[in-house]
Amino acid sequence: MSGDFRILRDLGFTPEIATELGHMCVAWAALEWRLFSLYHAMTDAPTAIARAAFYSHFSARDRLSLTLSTAHMVLRGSQKREAAFAALEKLAGKVRKTAAKRNSYIHNPWAMEPGKPETLSQFQLGGDDIHGRGKRVSQKDLSQLTDQIVSWTELVRGLEERILPLLPASLGKLDRTRAATLVFAPSRGRGR
Dihedral sign of CA atoms 111, 31, 81, 178 in order: positive
Specify the 3-state DSSP secondary structure of 66: helix
Of how many residues is the chain composed? 192
Range of the domain at 124: 6-172
181: in domain: no
Upper half-sphere CA count for residue 47 (Cβ side, 13 Å): 2
Pairing, β 110-113 against β 6-7: antiparallel
47: in domain: yes
pTM of the model: 0.82
Give me the number of domains the chain comprises: 1
pLDDT, residue 123, reads 83
How confident is the prediction along the chain (192 residues), in pLDDT tens digits per residue?
456 888 899 998 899 999 999 999 999 999 999 999 999 999 989 999 999 999 999 999 999 999 999 999 899 888 999 999 999 999 999 999 999 999 989 998 998 888 888 888 888 776 676 666 778 899 999 999 999 999 999 999 999 999 999 887 656 555 544 444 444 444 455 444
